[in-house]
């Protein structure tokens, strides 16, 4: 099948194409031979991509796939959205410089105005913005440096299951031990606290009792003169842990964390690199709890599919010296143009509300599947940021009722979804959480199709497990 004969983009073309057969494309072989051993996604999603539109990708065999990964949440408007493409073309045609360090331009000014208009008004009125190197990790690095400078303190508090990037500093506040072990555990001056993971409550309690225990521990650590932890420079938290397995923090826990950090004069840094711009059903995930951060870090969707990262923070923290945080590519003009276009479209079409509705629809489908398949231990997540935790239903549960994670079945399920044209990613403990991050423009019929194919893939994965069959990798040409 060639690209010229391939099914047209859209759900009808996706449904009508022949069964998908994953092929050993020469580009994949060259990638394996030449790219670093640190490459990750191609190991489980072995596709050579040639075209994209909306929520659909086409590979080198002309096959369509529904993209429920969306650049790890980067592509809020999907692939090659007309507004994004038009913004790129207009910027190129304008003759504006494409690279300006942190000098201002009409494109940059428009982006800042659009972003501040999207922020909660009380936060925006007293906010400053720092453009960072174009990754979420650099935004978090900037936030930690800012808090340490403003407070004169060094200790940072992070949470188990957290993911904030792959730099040396952000690794120190990462929950996953895999990337940290070869480096000796990252940098010092960091304390990790339990995150309120209701399905696998770290206190063995669950529910409101687990929330109470978590807040009591934080209160004790900040209040007790013999807790062993000096007052931190910042607490860094995700409202919904993404890579950690799509774990949403309870509203009451977030409100309590905000209350405690404010009472003890500790800046609260909220990492919305993956949750920002409508992903969770609100423009910003912290709005679910009715709180405001001291520092907000945004990346991914904020650049409208191109690299961009910013830290927005209360003006009283703005006491670092000129050049205290810099980066050559913080002046990415094309990303600011596409970011502005994306922000405008999300707000104009209320895609945050659409994400809430489509997420509820998908969650409903998944919970119906769960009712017949106990290996789906938990279905969770707000908006279009949904996780399904795969468990071994044959092993005994914990005291809170959670059975052990089954990463092997999750990997098999991911592969069977791919073979049915749905791209999903895994996360969480033991890689046992199947994650859904489709573009915010996905419609109801597409949600239904995703759920149907997931159900079929699950049955195939369970049949494979029951038969003891061992997958052999890519299908032959």
pLDDT of residue 1: 34
The residue with greater pLDDT, 171 or 353, is 353
The pLDDT tens digits of the residues spanning 230-241 come to: 999 999 999 999
Domain count, the chain: 2
**75 occurs within a structural domain:** no
pLDDT of residue 477: 26
pLDDT of residue 146: 98
Nearest to 280 by CA among 349, 357, 348: 357
**Given 290, 314, 348, which residue is the final one in a domain?**
348
Nearest to 439 by CA among 140, 20, 63, 65: 65
Instruction: Judge whether residue 204 has pLDDT over 70.
Output: yes
**Given 320, 348, 376, which residue is the final one in a domain?**
348
Question: What pLDDT band is residue 4 in, cutting at 50, 70 and 90?
Answer: very low
Instruction: Judge whether residue 3 has pLDDT over 80.
Output: no
Question: What pLDDT band is residue 187 in, cutting at 50, 70 and 90?
Answer: low
Structural element, H or E, at residue 67? strand 64-67
Same domain, 172 and 289: yes
The pLDDT tens digits of the residues spanning 205-218 come to: 999 999 999 999 99
CATH number at residue 192: 3.40.640.10
Same domain, 152 and 275: yes
Residue 108: helix, strand or coil by DSSP? helix
With pLDDT > 70 as the criterion, what percentage of the chain qualifies?
96
**300 occurs within a structural domain:** yes
**297 occurs within a structural domain:** yes
Question: What pLDDT band is residue 179 in, cutting at 50, 70 and 90?
Answer: confident
**Span 260-276, average pLDDT:** 98
**441 occurs within a structural domain:** yes
- Residue whose structure tokens are 């062993």: 228
Contact between 256 and 237 (Cβ < 8 Å): no
Contact between 156 and 140 (Cβ < 8 Å): no
Rounded to whole angstroms, the Cα distance separating 386 from 280 reads 9
Print the domain residue range for 229. Answer: 82-348
Same domain, 184 and 319: yes
| Average pLDDT score, the chain | 94
**74 occurs within a structural domain:** no
The pLDDT tens digits of the residues spanning 65-103 come to: 999 999 999 999 999 999 999 999 999 999 999 999 999
Same domain, 108 and 178: yes
Same domain, 99 and 200: yes
State both tokens at 81: 């959205």
Instruction: Judge whether residue 130 has pLDDT over 60.
Output: yes
**Span 333-351, average pLDDT:** 98
Nearest to 423 by CA among 404, 406, 442: 442
pLDDT of residue 185: 62
Instruction: Judge whether residue 427 has pLDDT over 70.
Output: yes
The pLDDT tens digits of the residues spanning 297-310 come to: 999 999 999 999 99
pLDDT of residue 331: 83
**336 occurs within a structural domain:** yes
**433 occurs within a structural domain:** yes
Calculate ∠ Cα 98-128-298, nearest 5°: 65
**Span 121-150, average pLDDT:** 96
Question: What pLDDT band is residue 383 in, cutting at 50, 70 and 90?
Answer: very high
* Beta strand extents in 219-348 (DSSP E only): 234-237, 240-241, 247-248, 268-271, 295-298, 310-314
pLDDT of residue 469: 74
Same domain, 91 and 169: yes
Instruction: Judge whether residue 470 has pLDDT over 80.
Output: no
Cβ neighbours, 10 Å, residue 335: 26
Contacts of 146 (CB under 8 A, 6+ apart): 130, 295, 311, 313, 317, 320, 325
Q: Is 126 exposed, middle or buried (CB count within 10 Å of its CB: 0-12, 13-18, 19+)?
A: exposed
pLDDT of residue 471: 60
- Residue 232 has what DSSP assignment? P
**Given 333, 348, 363, which residue is the final one in a domain?**
348
State both tokens at 276: 């920002």
Rounded to whole angstroms, the Cα distance separating 73 from 440 reads 9
pTM listed for this prediction: 0.95
Rounded to whole angstroms, the Cα distance separating 283 from 117 reads 11
pLDDT of residue 186: 61
CATH number at residue 452: 3.90.1150.10
pLDDT of residue 248: 98
Same domain, 361 and 445: yes
Contact between 54 and 79 (Cβ < 8 Å): yes
Give residue 461's Cα distance to chain centre.
26
Contact between 242 and 73 (Cβ < 8 Å): yes
**477 occurs within a structural domain:** no
Same domain, 286 and 357: no
- Residue whose structure tokens are 């409903």: 364
Contact between 161 and 241 (Cβ < 8 Å): yes
Cα end-to-end distance, the chain, whole Å: 11
| Dihedral sign (CA 65, 66, 69, 70) | positive
Instruction: Judge whether residue 5 has pLDDT over 90.
Output: no
Instruction: Judge whether residue 49 has pLDDT over 80.
Output: yes
Same domain, 344 and 356: no
Same domain, 125 and 269: yes
């Amino acid at each position: 099948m060639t690209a010229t004969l391939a099914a047209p983009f859209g759900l009808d073309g996706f449904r009508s194409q022949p069964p998908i057969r994953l092929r050993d494309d020469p580009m994949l072989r060259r990638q394996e031979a030449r790219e670093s051993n640190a490459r990750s996604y191609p190991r489980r999603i072995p596709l050579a991509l040639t075209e994209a539109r909306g929520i659909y990708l086409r590979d080198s065999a002309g096959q369509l796939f529904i993209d429920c990964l969306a650049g790890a949440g980067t592509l809020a408007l999907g692939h090659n959205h007309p507004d994004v493409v038009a913004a790129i073309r207009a910027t190129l045609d304008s003759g504006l410089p494409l690279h300006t360090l942190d000098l201002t331009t009409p494109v940059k000014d428009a982006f800042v105005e659009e972003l501040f208009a999207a922020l909660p008004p009380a936060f925006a009125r007293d906010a400053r913005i720092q453009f960072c190197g174009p990754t979420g990790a650099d935004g978090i690095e900037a936030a930690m440096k800012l808090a340490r400078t403003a407070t004169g303190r060094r200790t940072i508090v992070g949470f188990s299951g957290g993911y904030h990037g792959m730099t040396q500093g952000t690794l120190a506040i990462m929950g996953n031990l895999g990337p940290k072990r070869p480096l000796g555990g990252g940098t010092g001056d960091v304390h990790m606290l339990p995150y309120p993971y209701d399905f696998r409550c770290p206190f063995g309690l669950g529910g409101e009792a687990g929330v109470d225990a978590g807040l009591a521990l934080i209160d004790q650590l900040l209040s007790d003169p013999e807790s062993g932890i000096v007052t931190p420079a910042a607490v860094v938290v995700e409202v919904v842990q993404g890579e950690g397995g799509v774990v949403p923090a309870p509203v009451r826990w977030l409100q309590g964390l905000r209350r405690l950090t404010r009472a003890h004069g500790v800046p609260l840094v909220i990492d919305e690199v993956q949750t920002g711009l409508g992903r969770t059903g609100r423009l910003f995930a912290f709005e679910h709890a009715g709180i405001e951060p001291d520092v907000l870090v945004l990346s991914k969707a904020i650049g409208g599919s191109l690299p961009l990262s910013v830290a927005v923070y209360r003006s009283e923290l703005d006491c670092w010296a000129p050049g205290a945080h810099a980066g050559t590519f913080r002046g990415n003009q094309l990303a600011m143009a596409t970011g502005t276009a994306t922000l405008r479209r999300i707000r104009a079409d209320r895609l945050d509300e659409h994400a809430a509705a489509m997420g509820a629809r998908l969650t409903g489908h998944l919970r119906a599947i769960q009712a017949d398949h106990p290996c789906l231990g938990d279905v969770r997540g707000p908006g279009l940021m949904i996780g399904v935790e795969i468990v071994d239903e044959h092993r005994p549960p914990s005291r809170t009722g959670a059975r052990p994670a089954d990463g092997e079945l999750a990997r098999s399920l991911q592969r069977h979804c791919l073979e049915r044209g749905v791209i999903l990613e895994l996360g969480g403990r033991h890689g046992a959480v199947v994650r859904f991050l489709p573009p915010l423009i996905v419609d109801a019929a597409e949600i239904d199709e995703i759920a149907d194919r997931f159900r079929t893939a699950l049955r195939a994965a369970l049949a494979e497990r029951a038969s003891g069959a061992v997958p052999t990798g890519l299908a032959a040409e």
